[in-house]
A and B are shown apart, each in its own frame.
Chain A
Amino acid sequence: MKVVLQNLTKKFPSRNKKSNDEVIAVNDFNFEIPDGKLIGLLGPSGCGKSTALNLISGLIQPTSGKIFFGDDDVTGLPPENRGVGLVFQSYALYPHLTVRENIMFPLQNLKGAERPSKEEMERRVMEAAKLVQIENLMERKPGEMSGGQQQRVAIARAVVKMPRVLLLDEPLSNLDARLRLQTREEIRRIQRDTGITTVFVTHDQEEAMSISDMIVVMKDGVVQQIGKPQDVYDSPVNLFVSKFLGTPPINVFDGQVKGGKLHIGSEAVLDVPGAADGPVWAGIRPEGFILDENGPFSCDLTSVEVMGRDISVVCGHEKNAGAGAIRAIISAEHRPADGAKQVRFTLKPWKVFLFNHETEERIHFEVK
């Protein structure tokens, strides 16, 4: 079931009664989620991604705009008539019911002809439990299970009624790092097995990149960029998107384009044919550095962090406009000379992005 959002907007009244400032949590969303895909809604805290999810679920009503599931306009429908499965950040498993009763709950709500027989319910509950691999925990209460197991039960409860769309609100935020890796693979697998169109919300770009078919990057209620994770990473439309994706984050410099060359400080570090002269923000991905004694770009070496396969060269630069130190990830086979005060790099042009100094929009140049 494809999901289409049309000019979707949600405004919340200001908390302060005296001012009339409205908070626009979701501002004019226009995009289509293709059938059977896994979509990550990605953005920093407070960017409106959970609001967007709740709009799709029907728990909140949009101020304007429309939502379609397939060809059906579901904008005015209450959540129970939309056929959505929702997994909450807190899981919201009923603590007094066993796993079996929790998963069966949505089925028992059905009335009349829709209501399956008791055997059919049992069968579907077991099917959902098998899907998330919790068949052996059916008689437990949620309090007697780990976070990861609870998460699986929550997913089973959401898929047991065979929703048209599955929505997950920060599904991994309550899990520890190891479980997070494992569970995100699980979500991917469950989504593939069921083929249900799935939207999940996260602030963790790594999480979104690793399992989504498509990511939607949001900021302040506005969609910044939509695309395949790799495409968005390789070609961010603005400074925000480039900074938001990637660990360690992209290095940002206050640079200058003069005569088709990018200058950072006094050095001309890269040919950027096609870019107009003027001040720019220059973003360089950590993997965009090549250690080179004769390279055009130099910086002051602070430390070298060994990470096994790679090493991370940490250095300082007077034109650094990012939040932290400059990081370059290079293969462990090469490393700066011991005791060196300065390191020099050559830059990979396809890992360097230029952004307008005012609008922060991407400035394209020809990569040779």
Chain B
Amino acid sequence: MNKENNLKGWLYLLPAILFLGFFMVYPLVDVFVYSFEEGYNSASQTFFGVGLYNYSYVLHDPYFLQALKNTFILVIITVPLSTIIALLISVGLNSITPLKKLYQTVYFLPYVTNTLAVGLVFMILFKKTAYTDGLANLILAWFGKGPIDFIDGPYWAKMFVLCFYTIWVVMPFKVLILTSALASVNQDYYNAAKVDGTSPFRIFRKITLPMISPMIFYLVITGFIGAFKAYSDAVALFGTNLNAAEMNTIVGYVYDMLYGDSGGYPSYASAAAIILFAVVFTITLINLSISKKNVHY
């Protein structure tokens, strides 16, 4: 009976296992193998030898180092900032009664907005054209600060726009998750705290935060992973030649190695992809170990 059940169980799992095997596990292993095959040519399916040369090349490539730096800056700035801002917005949304639904909708709008439309909005905000320096420069001018070219200008200006854009794009989802997490906290806890004369700040720190900590943790983990995989946002802002704009990301570098103008190097691309995987994996492990102490399920 038990054995038969086991067999049945595997049978039910088979479609998913096959699908995942073909489209996830096999390519993953393949990428791992490619990353060690030196000079692999996808047309002739040949390579010179096996070794660590691909990794060495990638790690000495200034474009990759630039991409690595950009990605880390993006992650370090956007993940904490977007989570904290989303938390503030959610707490605000939860404590107002009039127009609550309206504001919730407004904050969720970017999520359902087309990327191209968002790109257009940012163009109006930051792009310098023949007629205008962009809305951001208009505001800067009020404070007597000179026009800054946010799209083709200095590195920090471009990085600012990229971070701003990333935070703006991920915000609605985080606000949605956190508002529902806040709403699901049993009102009794707050009433109990109120009867005991707890200050609002202490209520937030000692009750609200621990209660929604699993959701915050979820957002931080997915936020890290998402930011490490950033690519399309940079393209939307700075065009496809990201290396020239000094705005490339690791995923952008992998893509360029595969299909870009300098493309046709699957081995380098694989090595870069494996490095990215190792980085994300390590960060996630660190996150998990930190969460054991601070997240209350």
Whole-angstrom CA separation of A89 from B191 in the bound complex: 12
User: CB distance B195 to A90 under 8 Å?
Assistant: no
User: CB distance B198 to A92 under 8 Å?
Assistant: no
Is B39 interfacial (CB-CB < 8 Å)?
no
**Given contacts A92-B188, A92-B189, A94-B206, is CB(A86)–CB(B195) below 8 Å?**
yes
Is A251 interfacial (CB-CB < 8 Å)?
no
Is B210 interfacial (CB-CB < 8 Å)?
yes
Could you list 5 A-B pairs, sorted by A, with CB under 8 Å? A80-B194, A85-B195, A90-B186, A94-B189, A110-B197
Q: Which 9 A-B pairs have the closest CB atoms?
A: A80-B197, A96-B296, A92-B188, A106-B196, A92-B192, A96-B210, A79-B195, A86-B195, A109-B197
**Given contacts A90-B188, A92-B189, A96-B211, is CB(A109)–CB(B194) below 8 Å?**
no
Is B283 interfacial (CB-CB < 8 Å)?
no
Is A306 interfacial (CB-CB < 8 Å)?
no
Which residue from chain A places its CB closest to the CB of B295 in the assembled complex? A96
A157-194 interface with B by 8 A CB criterion: 157, 161
B198 to chain A, nearest CB (A): 5
Please, which residues of chain A bring their CB within 8 A of the CB of B202? 109
Size category of the A interface is 20 to 34
B192-236 interface with A by 8 A CB criterion: 192-199, 202, 206-207, 210-211, 213
Please, which residues of chain A bring their CB within 8 A of the CB of B193? 105
Q: Which of A84, A95, A96 contacts B195 (CB 8 A)?
A: A84
Please, which residues of chain A bring their CB within 8 A of the CB of B207? 94
* A residues whose Cβ falls under 8 Å from a Cβ of B: 57-59, 78-81, 84-86, 88-90, 92, 94-97, 105-106, 109-110, 157, 161
Please, which residues of chain B bring their CB within 8 A of the CB of A79? 194-195, 197
User: CB distance A59 to B210 under 8 Å?
Assistant: no
User: CB distance A161 to B191 under 8 Å?
Assistant: no
Please, which residues of chain B bring their CB within 8 A of the CB of A84? 195
Interface class of chain B by DSSP: helix
User: CB distance A109 to B198 under 8 Å?
Assistant: yes
* B residues whose Cβ falls under 8 Å from a Cβ of A: 186, 188-189, 191-199, 202, 206-207, 210-211, 213, 296
**Given contacts A96-B210, A96-B211, is CB(A59)–CB(B196) below 8 Å?**
no
B216 to chain A, nearest CB (A): 13
User: CB distance A88 to B192 under 8 Å?
Assistant: yes
Please, which residues of chain B bring their CB within 8 A of the CB of A161? 196
Whole-angstrom CA separation of A110 from B189 in the bound complex: 18
User: CB distance A57 to B296 under 8 Å?
Assistant: no
**Given contacts A59-B191, A96-B211, A96-B296, is CB(A109)–CB(B186) below 8 Å?**
no
Find the residue from B189, B195, B199 having the highest chain A CB count within 10 A: B195
Other A-B contacts than A106-B196, A109-B202, 14 sampled, CB-CB below 8 A, are A79-B197, A80-B194, A80-B197, A86-B195, A94-B206, A94-B210, A95-B211, A95-B296, A96-B211, A96-B213, A105-B196, A106-B197, A109-B196, A109-B199
Please, which residues of chain B bring their CB within 8 A of the CB of A106? 196-197
Please, which residues of chain B bring their CB within 8 A of the CB of A157? 196
Whole-angstrom CA separation of A86 from B195 in the bound complex: 7
Whole-angstrom CA separation of A105 from B198 in the bound complex: 9
